[in-house]
Each structure stands twice: as structure tokens, then as C-alpha cells.
Amino acid sequence: MEEVIKIEGGHKLNGTVRISGSKNATVALIPAAILANGPVTICGVPSISDVESLSVLLRDLGVVVDIRSSDSIVIDPTQMENKPLIHEAVNKLRASYYFMGALLGKYGHAEIRMPGGCYLGPRPIDLHLKGFEALGATIHYDHGAYILDAPQLIGNKIFLDIASVGATINIMMAAVHAQGRTTIENAAKEPEIIDVATLLNKMGAKIRGAGTNVITIDGVEALGGCFHEIIPDRIEAATYIVLAAAAADEVVVENVIPQHLESLLSKLHEIGVDIKVDVDRLIIKGNTGNLKATDIKTLPYPGFATDIQQPLTALLTQAHGQSIVTETIYTERFKHCQELAKMGANINVMIPSSFINGPTPLSGAEVSATDLRCGACLVIAGLIAEGTTTIRNIYHIERGYEHIDEKLSALGAKIWRETIE
């Protein structure tokens, strides 16, 4: 038995949708909170399965986790013990690797199973490990688990070969207690990194330069509890913006930071989408009849986000001409194209690019969410397709989109869940 999402296409969306807190920030902020010696309250936490998996891991370590209201979580690590993280929850999410940096920083020792998550081709963690080694840690790999040891972490200059978000955050967490100064060069600049640095600084860390390519961390003795509100999820916001462009009369997307979405907004403007930008909300008028094809190349922030190319591909099937999407971050990220083809899309994939010929009418079909953002792409395709679309493997969607069916129903979509054999 499997739960699926079904969508009856062709219903125009209208109304307002509120964006939840950032998934990619949340999954780093929660492990970062264990560096404190007192309770940390995080507000704006999205209700997604990744948060449940992280809570399981925290409780394994003896951390008290109190999910207060709909969106706030209190993490109290005062009675915490450093134990090996070998729970199956580690396999469920990639971000469990942030416990490496946090535990190494706090205790000088960490033991953790190889993390899981969406399969998007190779996503090596060697940059994280190189960073830990530069701070003085020794690393062993034994029976599928990493064992990290450092009697004393010492600040150092670390140059990242690739501006990796995960490695930047992980090294930052390990370095907060290191002796002296750590400099991360060619650091990633994503807004989520600024959010984690902000939390750590509120706890008493000394981090400068987050959001630029050089981050400086001066080690401190101890960190205390604090209160922190997560930034809005720019990828969820992007998904609803693209979805509105594809299927709405008029939709307002609120609780956004427009500056985080500039690369997407300029592309949508170029292809002919009508968007009005306000301080913390956007008004999108749908008009798929006059869209022009475009070329997109994914790049690290502030370039075009790899996480947005899949949802956008669904919209590009309705644009006039040939659009080309070139993927420079995760070259395997084209599984959604095969699923869209089942619905009638005309797409040729020649890695690292896909060639989308439009406009093509889409028809409802049975498709599968191969990963989180592929799921978002199929939801958008289902909304504009004729007939009913059935999406399988929806656990991928639930990893990153809070109450997606409820939010869409409130806008007038015909979307529901069913259990099938």
C-alpha cells in the first residue's frame, strides 16, 4: 500500500500563500543548537519530515526537544551525552552530517553513520573532512561510520576547492570552539549560511564575513542559549512563484525576501511572467499563452539555484521555442524530464543539459517523484495538465514542502491523497 498525491489539472489558482521557514537553514540550525550550554528556541520551523528525523537524532543524544507551537522548537542540550549516531534516521537525511561539525566542535569526538538524502549523483563529503583535518582532527572510516577525533581543535586557514554550503557550515560549527582564528576561503555565500552564523553569533560565537567568500571565526570558550527566527524558504517561495506563473489568475506569495530570489525573478521577467515585487511579498499574474523560451545555467548563489531548475522546467514546457537548462552543480539532476515526458513534454536530455521544446499540452499520467524538487516539478505539471495526475513516492515531497496539498487546496487546486496498492 502506498499513499499518492492526485491532482486534477486545469483549475486556475487564486489567493494568498504563506512561505514557511527555510528547510536548508532548519536542517543546519537544529544541529548547530547543540553547541549551546542552555536552551535554544528556534521559531519558524517548517513541519517537514526532515525535522522529525533530526529530532529523533537529538533525543538519541539525550537532548530535550520540545516542539512548542505549530512552528517553534526548543532544544535543550544541558543533559546531552556524546553517543555514536547510528540510528536509521541518519540514513534518511543528508543534513545529518552537520552533527559531525557540531559534535567535533563541542566534544572533540564524533561518530556517525554515512548520511543519506536525495540521490543527485555524487555529493562527496571529502571537503568537510579536509576542513576538519585542517583544524587538527584525525578521521577513520570503520564499518560504514566516520570516527572523528581531536583532543584540541586549532584554528587554521582553509581553502575550499568548491564553494560547498554543507562544508562551509560544518567547518564553521567545528571552528567555533577551536583555539585561535579559522579562515574559510572560497566559502559558499548562500543566505542559509548567514542564518546559521547569525544563530551561532547570538549564542556567543565570533563569526564575521558570512555571505561573502571569506568567513573568519575566532574561537570562544562557551556558547549559551538564545532565540532565533529562521529566514523564509527561498526554494519553496520559488516553487510557488513558478507554480503561480503556470497555473494562476493571480496569486500573492507572502513571507519572502525578494533579494534571495533575484536570479529567478529576472529570468521570469525575461520569459514574460507578470510579477509585482513588494517588501516581503510578490504578486504573480499567470499568463502561459505568451511565454518565451529561455536558457538557464545553474550556479552557486547568487546565481540560478539548482533546486529551482526542476520546478521551472514544468513551466518551460509551456513557453514558445526551445529552452536549454544547463546543470553545473548536480549533473544527474534530470530524472524529472523522463517523468514529464510521460505527460507529453518534448524534452531531450544530453547531460549536463536538457532541451525543452514548447509549448506542449500536458496530459495527466502516473508519475514518480524521484527526488524532492522533481516532486515539486510534477505538482506544477499536474496543475496545468488535462485530466488527473497521480504522483508516487511522495515522501520525497514531504521532506521539503510543508502541507503542500493544504496550501494548494486553499488556492483552489483540486489536489488530494489516496492510498493505492
Cis peptide before 191 (omega within 30 of 0): no
Locus of grid cell 556558547: 223
Q: Are 94 and 116 in contact (CB under 8 A)?
A: yes
Q: Among 118, 337, 374, 377, which one carries the catalytic annotation?
A: 118
Q: Are 166 and 132 in contact (CB under 8 A)?
A: no
Measuring CA to CA, which residue among 141, 133, 128 is closest to residue 31? 128
Helix locations, 95-190, DSSP H: 98-107, 126-134, 165-175
Which parts are annotated binding residues for UDP-N-acetyl-alpha-D-glucosamine? 94, 123-127, 307, 329
Which parts are annotated binding residues for phosphoenolpyruvate? 23-24
Q: Tell me how far apart the alpha carbons of residues 9 and 84 are, in angstroms, rounded to a whole number.
A: 48
Q: Are 168 and 215 in contact (CB under 8 A)?
A: yes
Which parts are annotated binding residues? 23-24, 94, 123-127, 307, 329
Instruction: Give 286-290 contacts, CB < 8 A, sequence gap 24+.
Output: 286/12, 286/13, 286/244, 286/245, 286/246, 286/247, 286/248, 286/249, 286/250, 286/251, 287/245, 288/245, 288/246, 288/315, 288/318, 288/359, 288/384, 290/320
Query: DSSP string of 198-253?
Result: HHHHHTT-EEE-BTBSEEEEE--S-----EEEPPB-HHHHHHHHHHHHHHEEEEEE
Cell of 215: 568567513
Please indicate whether residue 118 is annotated as part of the active site: yes
Locus of grid cell 571552528: 175
Residues 6+ apart with CB under 8 A from 231: 21, 22, 25, 44, 191, 192, 194, 195, 257, 260
Q: Are 162 and 213 in contact (CB under 8 A)?
A: no
Residue numbers annotated as active site: 118
